[in-house]
Structure 1
């Protein structure tokens, strides 16, 4: 996606990843959006509502988790640090092998590994590369509960992406408070034959029981039929935000 000369910069939290690109420290951000086991990554979804960055790509990765720590076996672990999503993806394994351990959610698995490295009896759920980076032992491999556990990432930048011929467009919308409002929002997509691949709701945080909807559609915003659908959707939605169009990963 980026070439061999691109420098990779780790950040401890999703918020830090967003800020690095928003302030020009990095050119791109890669943030997790949804997982095949645990669903949407809430921290990313909430931050997408406020960012000025544009989606310019997506990456789909099969995720394999390891238990990393200073101990020699999982039985010695008293505390497990991990991102909330990772704790959920490994819930059954933890219950079977480390039910005695306290589970503490943190901002990222990199942050988890850093904490585990400084605390005897602690462990982290992270990729095996973190073992070398933080001087930890690999206590167990492939501890995710579901085979084929995958996470979809969005690539964000300050620059829009031209059509590639195989694109997606991501939107955030809200419906006005009336019966059938959400259905009405989707009618322009049906009318222009635009395929919707994802619809997910999140509390809007601006009113009790008010929601925003994250929508992914097939096609680039510069394609005529997509552009027409989005024009109508923009006019009818209570809130409309186009996160950008980008080459589809699958």
Structure 2
């Protein structure tokens, strides 16, 4: 950049020329996406157009190439939307999520798939699983754990009865706001609606600012936002998407007790995902009820130096005081070392189920 424009008009002309170049290049990329779709369809009429491992590789490459001034995550988000729009030209993706509209799960779905995906709200987590299993949706998005309140048991239980694979993950920073409608009298708020987990994540703030307000748990934050529209003395705890969707005013922002409050969501689908170069694997293991069972389960991971990122225990449905273990670890099930570890675990356990190997969340 040796030839720096000397005035505002020259800068604006240069921006116009750059915009035209960007437009041309995006259009060329979209045409390439259409050609990819044609080739895939000729080879296989039922071809899979969305490739999680390929998308993760592209976004990682963009972040590695980026030299600023936009930060790498912001640049990756821009490319995510370009890729989402190009993919919609091939075949729009239908994504089921825990609804209604305006939930953090919908926000996670759009963060992962982009705004060109068709998002389908479901009333419960098990309905998300059924929608994908039936083929009515290509993928589903479900919450699995929160950094403050821990694991979402309903999601783990659903995996025990489902044939779905985990195809990806997305981590969403969760910011809660106290919202009111245009008819709410701020000084008279005596009832607050929200999801039970949101109440737990904002407990200290509520104890300090609204100690006497009735806390009414509902199925989702979006439902809480919807209820506030009809009452003059109530408020809701919800996020930005719900505030915008239901036209509510924020009277207090970021009221979560922990500033690093975040939730991890899983992408479920019918496909096994090839290696992307930076992957996780999730498994569920039922162990025989005997001394040293947990040690026997974990020892192969330690010996082969495989990094465990999560270990959860749930009661087994096959016997009283028996348990199953949900484990996440770094690596892909096609990696020879991981294959060897899983074979050892299979021999030591009563049952082993691989839920899926998938790219580590990029954004």
Establish whether TM, by shorter chain, passes 0.5. Answer: yes
Instruction: Identify the residue that residue 344 of structure 2 maps to in structure 1.
Output: 232
2:176 is equivalent to residue 65 of structure 1: yes
Mean CA deviation greater in 166-175 or 116-125: 116-125
Structure 1's 240 and 84: CA in aligned 2 closer, same or farther, altered over 3 A? farther
1:143 positional shift: 0.8
2:256 is equivalent to residue 144 of structure 1: yes
Instruction: Identify the residue that residue 224 of structure 2 maps to in structure 1.
Output: 112
1:77 positional shift: 2.8
> Would you say how many aligned residue pairs link Structure 1 and Structure 2?
249
1:152 positional shift: 1.1
Instruction: Identify the residue that residue 45 of structure 1 maps to in structure 2.
Output: 156
Structure whose alpha-carbon radius of gyration is higher: 2
1:137 positional shift: 2.8
Distance 2:141 2:315 in 1: 23
Structure 1's 203 and 76: CA in aligned 2 closer, same or farther, altered over 3 A? farther
Distance 2:315 2:217 in 1: 21
- The DSSP-based 3-state class of the residue aligned with 1:55 is strand
Structure 1's 209 and 84: CA in aligned 2 closer, same or farther, altered over 3 A? farther
Distance 1:16 1:57 in 2: 19
Instruction: Identify the residue that residue 143 of structure 2 maps to in structure 1.
Output: 32
Deviations 1:131-178, CA, capped at 9 Å, x for gaps: 232233323210100011111111111111110010000111122111
Deviations 1:89-122, CA, capped at 9 Å, x for gaps: 1111111122222223333222332333344433
State how 1:1-250 maps to structure 2 within 5 Å: 1-70=112-181, 71-73=184-186, 75-249=187-361
- The DSSP-based 3-state class of the residue aligned with 2:346 is helix
Q: Is the 8 A contact 2:285 2:349 kept in 1?
A: yes
Structure 1's 25 and 184: CA in aligned 2 closer, same or farther, altered over 3 A? same
TM-score, structure 2 normalization: 0.64
- The DSSP-based 3-state class of the residue aligned with 1:46 is helix
Q: Is the 8 A contact 1:12 1:110 kept in 2?
A: no
Comparing both chains, which one has the higher relative contact order based on Cα–Cα distances under 8 Å and sequence gaps of 6 or more?
Answer: 1
Distance 1:77 1:206 in 2: 48
Over aligned residues, Cα RMSD in angstroms?
2.0
Structure 1's 188 and 143: CA in aligned 2 closer, same or farther, altered over 3 A? same
Structure 1's 185 and 11: CA in aligned 2 closer, same or farther, altered over 3 A? same
Unaligned runs of 5+ in 1: none
Structure 1's 23 and 114: CA in aligned 2 closer, same or farther, altered over 3 A? farther
Q: Name the structure where helix makes up a greater proportion of residues.
A: 2
- The DSSP-based 3-state class of the residue aligned with 2:326 is strand
Runs of 4+ in structure 1 off by over 4 angstroms are: none
Distance 2:230 2:134 in 1: 30
Distance 1:78 1:207 in 2: 46
1:83 positional shift: 2.1
Q: Is the 8 A contact 1:72 1:139 kept in 2?
A: no
Mean CA deviation greater in 162-171 or 61-70: 61-70
TM-score, structure 1 normalization: 0.90
Distance 1:123 1:20 in 2: 33
1:72 positional shift: 4.2
Unaligned runs of 5+ in 2: 1-111
Q: Is the 8 A contact 2:185 2:233 kept in 1?
A: no
